[in-house]
Each structure stands twice: as structure tokens, then as C-alpha cells.
Structure 1
Amino acid sequence: MFKTVLPLSAILSLRFFGLFLVLPVLSAYALNLEGSTPFLVGVIVGGYALTQAIFQVPFGVMSDRIGRKPTLLVGLVIFLVGSIICAVSTDIYTLMAGRFLQGAGAIGAVIPAMISDLVHEESRGKAMALMGGTIAISFALAMAAGPVISAYAGVASLFWITAVLSILAMLVLFTKVPTPPRIRHIYHSTTTTADILKDPNLLSMIITNGMQKGLMTVAFVLIPILLLDNAGIFKWEAKELWQVYVPAMFMGLIAMGPAAVFGEKYNKPREIFLLSIVLFIVSFTLMGFATKSWEFVLGVIAFFMAFNMMEPLVQSMISKYAKVHQKGAALGIANGVAYFMTFIGGAVAGIALQYSNRETLAIGLIVITTLWLLWTFKMQNPHRYSHLYISMDHVDMEKLNSLEHEHIAEWYINETENIVAVKYRKDMVEEEAIKAKIVKG
């Protein structure tokens, strides 16, 4: 599994590393460009996510029609062009155009789809967690590297680095990523958006995914602007930003490991999400009302810990909570909401800085995250499933096509490997009983 998933995770992580690299300093940099306002700065910080949300479905359809690899290449090329435009921009509107173009290369849903093609169902949760973990690591490392590099080479250099990383991702795509097998899924139901939103667990995860990403852009509009404001309380210099991001990165990485293990291995994601939301509340309380630098830094550390604890689990849990015929739709809705909230978070933070103050924004965030916490208490931890694999040569296709059981989640055919896979709850139905229903004889 690792040999298959790591190259795809590397592509996504290289892309996100480039996006994350500028986040610690982007708002302060953009605020000094010609034509800038706090609102436009907020739009720029979250702007890539708006076009991500718009182009998620078109890129998903494209990947089904022309293949996953060509679609990933198109997305990476668009991202490369957007990064170059950002690097050469000298005014707020050119930078905004580059950020929108970066997001238009919307490959965020194509890579999870490709992982689903390449990885057996019972390993898919771990694969999604591995993907989330690499993104969380890239997030943490970028937070430490961005302020240091920009202090000595300028913010434009971060966009040039991002462009180089996108070229590196293309090389990984065509040298390390295998061609997916042909999988024929057999679903016995159809799904609608209403079906997904009526499921309290799925709705909780959609809200969680959206809130986590929205709060991320709120934080990265606020942190550099508040710390570097010469008229404010802290009056830091840009070269000092590493002093907040490095300890936050370190603590975020430490928190991520146990959270992923506890959530995946011990099947306790709900508890991890609740703890993370509490840390978000602590974070915005400290950042909103801190009067000393060390108090603000503690708030940033709490934010990083909360974000990194959630990130390895979010995609995995959505795929686990969704019924078989809902997986694609559920992931699409959750990622679309997440990207939209990323944009909204930046815009709201910009408006708040332009027309209000950090204390008022903090109170609003505390109220919203508290409501989120109360909602998440309703979530349940997912069921555990087992898998039965049988050679197609031994399966009676007529019997298989009529296979229905309340504790059998799905069955599908891997045409490349010539096997039938059945996903079922081992605690509710025995393997031999399933074989008796579908084996020839």
C-alpha cells in the first residue's frame, strides 16, 4: 500500500507545500501592494479555494473520461502558471488573478479517487489517513520554512519555489505513480445530496472539514498582520515570525501522531475531533485577547495542534461513514464545502480587520466553534468492516448479481486481478455464509 500511496501523497503534498509556504506571510505582504485593502487581502489568502470549489466537479468528470494521470498533469500545469503569475505580480489584482489560477488546477479530488482505484477497500482508510498525514506534515514544514525564506529572499521567491515544486510533482506523476486497475463497482442503490445531509455522521464530517479549512484561512490572515502591525500591541518584524511558527509546527507534528493512531487504530475519531475543537476555542481566545507575545504564541500553537490532529482523519472518516453508493458524492460535497469555507474564512477575516477589531472577531469565532463542538457530540464512531476475496472463476455470477444482505455493504469486481471482493460486517455475518451464497456448486 505504501509504495502505491506515497507517490500520490507526494504529488498532493508538494502542491500543498507550495500553497502553505506563503500562508504565514501572505496577508502582510499583500497588504503592502498597490490597491490593497484588508478585504482584498482576505480574498487573496483564500482565493485559490474558491476556484478549487468551482472546478472540483469538472476535474472529476475529466478524470473519468480521459484518465487520472492526464487530468493530474493538466491541473499541475495550471497550478504552475498561476504560481508564476503570483511571483511576478506587483499589484493586488495581478496577485489575486494568480491565486485564482492556482486554485483552478483542482486536482484535490482526483488523487483520492486514484487512491481508491489502486488500494484495496480494507486498506483505503489507512491510505486516506496516510495522505492526510503527509498534507499535515507539509503544512507544518511550510509554516516554519515560509517566514525564514521570505525574510531573506522575499515573498516572490516562495511562489518561484512553488512553481519548481509543481514541476517536481509532474516528474513524480510519470515516474512513480502506477496505472490504476480496472474496477467494476456494483451498487444496489442511488444517492442524492439530501441522503448525505440527512446522515448526522456525514453531516458532522462535512461541517468538520469545512470549519477546519475555514478557520485555517482566518488564522493566516490574522497571525502575520497582528504580529507585524507597527500600530498594534506586538510590533514584530517579518524575520521574527519563525519564532511563532517553528514551535507551533513542532507541537503540531507531535500532536498529529497520537491523534492518527488513536483515531484510526483504536477507532476513536469522534474523541479526537472533540479535543481538536476545544483547542480551536482555546486558540482563538488567546489570539483574540492576548496582551503579551507569549500568550499569542500559545494561541498559535493550540491552533496548529488542533489542525494537525484533524487533518490525517478527515478524508478517511468521510469514506468510512459513507455508504458504498455515497462515497464519491460524500467526498465531493465535503471537499467542495471545505474549499468554499476556505475562501469565506479569508474574506470574513479581511472584512473583520477592515471594519472591526480582533476582539470582536475572536468572540464570533468562539461562539461558532462552541456550536460546532456541541454538534460534534452527536457523531458516532464508524463500524469496522472485513473483506472477502474470491477468484471470479469460483463465483456464480447469477448468484452474485442477486446478493443482498443488510450486513453486506458492497461487492465489486477487480477485473485486472480477476477477483470478486465482498465488504461485510464480520461481527454480524460469517464468511462461510457469504461464500455459500455466491460460490459455484
Structure 2
Amino acid sequence: MFKKVFPLSAILSLRFLGLFLVLPVISIYALELEGSTPLLVGIVVGGYALTQAIFQVPFGTMSDKIGRKPTLLVGLLIFLVGSVICAYSTDIYTLMLGRFLQGAGAIGAVITAMISDLVPEEVRGKAMAIMGASIAMSFALAMGLGPVIGAKYGVESLFILTAVLAVLAIVLLFTKVPTPPKIKHTYHATTSTADILRDPNLLNMIIINAMQKGLMTIAFVLIPIILTSTEFAWEKSDLYMAYLPAMVFGLVAMGPAAVFGEKYNKPKQIFLLSIVLFVGSFLIMGLTTSSTVFIVGVVMFFIAFNMMEPLVQSMITKFAKVHQKGAALGISNSVAYFATFVGGTAAGLMYGMSDRETIGISVAVVAVIWLLWTLRLQNPTKHSHLYISHDDVDTAKLRNLENEHIAEWYINDSENIVVVKYVTDAIEEEDLRSKISK
């Protein structure tokens, strides 16, 4: 499994490393550019997310039709061009254009769908945890290096480094990434993309994903500005002292959260705990007058974010039909990135109109409403999979296989096997095997 997941995780991590490197300092940098205002700075911080929101669904759907690898290449090339434009921007509007292009290379859903193609569902939670951990390590590295490199060589150097990382990702794509299996899906073949939004489980995950990403952008607009303000008077190069411990604790929390959520099938409990931590973190960051306590709030935020991240993606791939993973992840990421853009824009607008205490309390109130809504969630039904050689299957029996406890079945042409997904506690594997065997 690791050999299949690691190259894809590395590509996504390189891309996110490039995006994360500028996050600790971009709001301060953008404020100094010609034509900047707090609102425009917020748009720049979350601007990449707007185009991510627009292109996630087209990229996810395109990957379902023409293949994952060609789609990944297109996305990485667009990201590369956007990074170069950001590096050489001299005013706020050119920087905004570059950030929009960075986001237009919307490959997150494609990579997650490709991992779900390559890895059986029983171990997909571990695969998503590996992907999440690699992103979190990129996050931690970026939080440490971004402020230091930006302070010494200028923020434009971070964008140049981002372009180099994009080139490395393209090299990995064609040298290390395996070709996913060819899937032939026939069970419930009449389902459409609109069914994704009608599925309450998928809709719940889409909303959770959106709220999480929106709060992330709000945090990244406000944290560096607040810490370098006259109240705390930190230097830009000192910001790593807040981000690095936060990401270390977040990375440590990710493992147990993934195990508890996946192995013991308790994602709802992890989501609720994460939201409680979100509420506490914004209250602390909004109300404290101590920089040490403020860092505690930052640590709480990243613990909450990292506990939630791998579970959201894993749950979406579990609830979606095999032929709709790309589209489902595309819709989810599209909504999430739109929320990211809204969060960044709102944070910039709020910072220009109100004080830190009001912002912290307002965001915490929104998170409390989210918490109350999440109480209605149900943990997912536990499914198992029957894997049987296609040569041993009676095709007629397979096509007539209709049961309320069977989520779907499909044919993996590359490995010549039939896969049947069924409710673990409702059907015995041997009984199911006998119903479709020759």
C-alpha cells in the first residue's frame, strides 16, 4: 500500500508545501504592495481557493473520463505558471492573478480519487492518514521555513521555490506514480452526479469539509497580522515559534484520531471534539493579551484541523460510488475551497472594520452553531468487501444481484476481479459468494 500511496502523497505534499510556505507571511507581504487594502489582502490569501472551488468539479469529473495522470499534469502546469506570476508581481492585483492561477490547478480531488482507486477500502483510512500526515509534515516544514526564508530573501523567493516544487511533482508523476486499475462499474449505473448532493452522508461531509477549510483561512489571515501588530510586536522571522509547535502537536494528534475514527468507526466523535477545539482556539486568540496564551490557541486550532482532515476525505470516498469518487471529491473540495475564499475575504473585511476580540467571539459563535448541527450526524454503516475472480462469477447472476444491504459492485478489469461492497452485519460472505458463483 505504501508504495502506491507515497508518490501521490508526495506530489500533493509538494504542491501544498508551495502554498503553505507563503501562508505565514503573505498577509503581511501583501499589505505592503501597491494598491493593497485589508479586503484585497484577504482575497489574496484565500484567492487561490476561489479558482480551486471553480475547477475542482471539472478536474474531478475529467479525471473520471480521461484518466487521472493526464489531469494531474494539466493541474500541475497551471500551478507552475501561477507561482511564477506571483514571484514577479509588484502590485496587489498581479499577485491576486497569480494566486488565482495557483488555485486553478485543482488536483486535490484527483489525487484522493486515485489513491482510492489503488487502495482497498479496508485500508483506505490508513492511506488517507498517510496522505494527511505527509501534508501535515509539509505544513510543519513550511511554518518553520516560510517566515525565515521570507524574512531573509523576500517573499518572492518563496514563490520561486514553489515553482521548483511544481516541477519536481511533475517528475514524480511520470517516474513513480503507478497507473490505476481500469474499473468497469455496472451496479446502480443509472446514478448521476446530482445523487451526490442527495446523499445525506455525502452532504454532511461536504459541509464539514467546507467549515474546516473556511476557519483555516480566517486563522491564516489573522494570526501573522496579530502577532506582528503593535500589541505583540513579533518580528516576521519569529512567526515559526507559533506555527512549528502547533503543527507538531497537530501531527501527533492526527494518528490517534484517524485510528479512533476509522478502526472503531467513530468519526462523529472526532468531528465533535475537533469543533470544540476550534471554538476554544478562536476565543483564546481573540481575547488573550498574552502571546504565550495566544500560541496555545494556535496549537488548539491546528490540533483540531489535523484531527479532522484525514477522516473527512476518507468518509467521502467511502460514501461515494466507485465511479463517482472523482466527482464527489470534486464537489466537496469545490465547496470547501469556496468556503476558504469566503473565510479569507471575511477575515480581511472584519480586520478592517472591527477589533480582535469581536472577530474571535464572532467566529467562535459560528463554530458553536456548527457544533450543534453536527450533533445530528450518524456514524457510517460498516461495510465489507467480497473479492472474487471474474472467471468464477456467473455474469447473469451478478447483473441480477439486487439487495438493500449491497452498496455496489464493480469489475476491476486490470486485475480481473469482481468486488462487491456489502453491509458487514447483514450478509455472510459465503452466502454472497454462492449467489454469484458459477
TM-score calculated relative to the size of structure 2 = 0.95
How many angstroms apart in 1 are the aligned matches of 2:172 and 2:369? 42
Q: 1:192 to 1:174 in 2, by over 3 A?
A: closer
- Pairing 1:315–2:316 present: no
Q: CA deviation at 1:359?
A: 1.8
Q: 1:103 to 1:55 in 2, by over 3 A?
A: same
SS at match of 1:205: helix
Q: Name the amino acid aligned to 1:114.
A: M
Residue 262 of structure 2 is matched in structure 1 by 264
Q: CA deviation at 1:120?
A: 2.7
How many angstroms apart in 2 are the aligned matches of 1:3 and 1:76? 21
Q: CA RMSD in A?
A: 1.8
- Pairing 1:331–2:329 present: yes
Equivalent residues of 1:48, 1:104 under 8 A apart: yes
How many angstroms apart in 1 are the aligned matches of 2:384 and 2:173? 31
Q: Name the amino acid aligned to 1:169.
A: A
Q: Name the amino acid aligned to 1:367.
A: V
Q: CA deviation at 1:328?
A: 4.5
The residue correspondences of 1:178-189 to structure 2 (distance < 5 A) are 178-188=178-188
Residue 205 of structure 1 is matched in structure 2 by 205
Residue 431 of structure 1 is matched in structure 2 by 429
The CA deviation string for residues 341-390 of structure 1, in whole angstroms up to 9 with x for no partner, is 01000000000011222222222111110011111111122122221111
The residue correspondences of 1:7-406 to structure 2 (distance < 5 A) are 7-188=7-188, 190-191=190-191, 195-197=195-197, 199-230=199-230, 233-322=231-320, 327-406=325-404
Structure 2: gaps of 5 or more residues: none
Q: 1:417 to 1:339 in 2, by over 3 A?
A: same
How many angstroms apart in 2 are the aligned matches of 1:77 and 1:361? 38
How many angstroms apart in 1 are the aligned matches of 2:324 and 2:190? 8
Q: CA deviation at 1:227?
A: 1.2
Q: 1:277 to 1:68 in 2, by over 3 A?
A: same
How many angstroms apart in 2 are the aligned matches of 1:154 and 1:327? 40
Q: CA deviation at 1:132?
A: 2.5
Q: CA deviation at 1:163?
A: 0.8
Q: CA deviation at 1:195?
A: 4.8
TM-score calculated relative to the size of structure 1 = 0.95
Equivalent residues of 2:64, 2:326 under 8 A apart: no
Q: Which moved more, 1:103-112 or 1:183-192?
A: 183-192
Q: CA deviation at 1:248?
A: 1.2
SS at match of 2:56: helix
Equivalent residues of 2:84, 2:163 under 8 A apart: yes
How many angstroms apart in 2 are the aligned matches of 1:102 and 1:395? 47
SS at match of 1:156: helix
Equivalent residues of 1:218, 1:349 under 8 A apart: yes
Q: CA deviation at 1:42?
A: 0.3
Sequence identity (%): 71
Structure 1: gaps of 5 or more residues: none
Q: CA deviation at 1:329?
A: 4.3
How many angstroms apart in 2 are the aligned matches of 1:121 and 1:426? 13
Q: Which moved more, 1:349-358 or 1:316-325?
A: 316-325
Residue 408 of structure 2 is matched in structure 1 by 410
How many angstroms apart in 2 are the aligned matches of 1:423 and 1:214? 34
How many angstroms apart in 2 are the aligned matches of 1:295 and 1:121? 41
How many angstroms apart in 2 are the aligned matches of 1:77 and 1:321? 31
